[in-house]
Amino acid sequence: MALLQVDRLRVEFPARQRTLVAVDDVSLSIDAGEVLGVVGESGAGKSVTGAAIIGLIEPPGRIAGGEIRFAGRRIDCLPDDAKRHIRGREIGSVFQDPLTSLNPLFTVGQQLVETILAHSDRTAADARRHALRLLEEVGIPAPAQRIDAYPHEFSGGMRQRVVIALAICAAPRLIIADEPTTALDVSIQSQIIALLKRLCREHGTAIMLITHDMGVIAETADRVAVMYAGRIVEVGPVRQILRSPNHPYTQGLMESIPRLGSDSAPLAQIDGAMPRLHEIPVGCAFHPRCPDASERCRETRPALRMVADSASVACLLFDDGCADD
C-alpha cells in the first residue's frame, strides 16, 4: 500500500466572477522511501497540491473534491487539531525560500526546540540535545556554537539546512519539499539535494519534491509527475520519462533542456505560455500549444491512462492504446 495516496484531488479558489480551479482531478501516490518529483511551470498547481496534502490551503481556497490518504488513513477532512498533528510529525515540509521560512526574531535553537516539544514529550533540555543532533545531521558545522544564533547570521544554504532540520524534527515519513533549491546558488543546490537524498536513504523517508527544474528531478527522483494547468499530464519512472517522454508537453520540456556535448540544433521551445487559471481551455488544456493537436483535443478531455509498464499519460494520441508515433 502506498504511503500517500491522492485521489482525484480538486482545489478551488473562489474569485470575483467565477471559481478558479488550481488543482483539477489530480491523482498520485508515493511509496515509503520513494522520491516523487512533481514538475511543471509556475502556476501549474504543484505547490497547491503540496499545500492541500498538509492541509494548509489559504482560505478562501478549499479542497472541493477527491481524497487524500496517508498510511491508509484519510487526512483531508480531519479536524484542524488532528491535521496539525500530521503536519511536522507525519509529514515534514521544506519551503522554497530559506530567508523567509525562519522567524527572524527567534534563534534557530528556539525554533527547533519548540518544534520538537510540539511533537514529543521530551523535556526542554532533552529537546535541546536533540536539536543539536539534528543540526549536526543536516551538516551545520559546530552546531553547539551555532544553535543560539539568529537566522540572519546563517548563509542561504545553511539556512536551508536549518529548515530541513526543522522538517525532520519528529522523524516524519514523508517530506514535502516545495522548490527547496530554487532560491539558492547553483553550487549550494547540489549540496541540499545530496542532503535530501541522504536523509531519504538513511531514514527511509519519502519525499515529494516539487520543482520546475528537470535537472533536479533527473538527479533525485525515482518517479516523476508532470503537471500542466492544474492537471497531471504524465507520470512514471524518471528514467523512462526522461528517455522517452510520451506527452507532447513533456517532450517539449525535454527538448528545451540544454545538453552538454550535444551540438545539435538550437534549443527548442514550446510556443505560447501556460494558460492562466481563468482561461484554461476546454478539452485538453495543452491543445492550443500542441503540435499534434487534432479537432478532438479541443473538445475531449483526455484521462490519465497507462501506456507502458508503469508510465501513464493524459493525451488523446494514446487514447486507444495504439501508442506508436
Q: Is 169 in the site for another protein (CB under 8 A)?
A: yes
Rule CB under 8 A: say whether 162 interacts with another protein. no
Tell me how many degrees the CA angle 181-232-6 measures, rounded to the nearest 5.
85
Q: How far apart are CA 217 and CA 219, in angstroms?
A: 5
The cell for 317 is 494520441
Closer residue to another protein in complex, CB, 163/229: 163
Query: CB of residue 293 vs another protein: minimum separation in angstroms?
Result: 30
Q: Which of 42, 123, 155, 244 binds another protein (CB under 8 A)?
A: 155
* Residue 62 interacts with another protein (CB under 8 A): yes or no: no
Long-range contacts for 57-60 (Cβ within 8 Å, ≥24 apart)?
A: 57/11, 60/13, 60/14
Write down the least CB distance from residue 321 to another protein, Å. Answer: 42
Told to check if 183 binds another protein by CB under 8 A, we report: yes
The site string for another protein over 239-268 (x = CB under 8 A, - otherwise) reads ------------------------------
CB-based contacts of 23, cutoff 8 Å, min separation 6: 9, 10, 11, 45, 48, 49, 52, 230
Interface residue with another protein among 15, 77, 153, 303 (CB under 8 A) is 153
Chain-centre distance for alpha carbon 319? 28
For position 108 contacting another protein by CB under 8 A, the verdict is no
Q: What residue type is 171 in one-letter code?
A: A
CA–CA–CA angle 214, 283, 50 (5° rounding): 40
Supply the DSSP symbol for 43: T
Task: By CB under 8 A, name the one of 69, 84, 301, 305 that touches another protein.
Answer: 84
All cell numbers assigned to 277: 487559471
Phi, psi of 165 (to 5 degrees): -60, -40
Binding mask 112-131 for another protein (x = CB under 8 A): --xx--xx------------
136 binds another protein per the rule CB under 8 A = no
Q: C-alpha grid cell for residue 211?
A: 520543482
Binding site for another protein (CB under 8 A): 16, 54, 56, 84-89, 92-93, 95, 97, 99-106, 114-115, 118-119, 150, 152-153, 155-156, 163, 166-167, 169-170, 183-185, 188
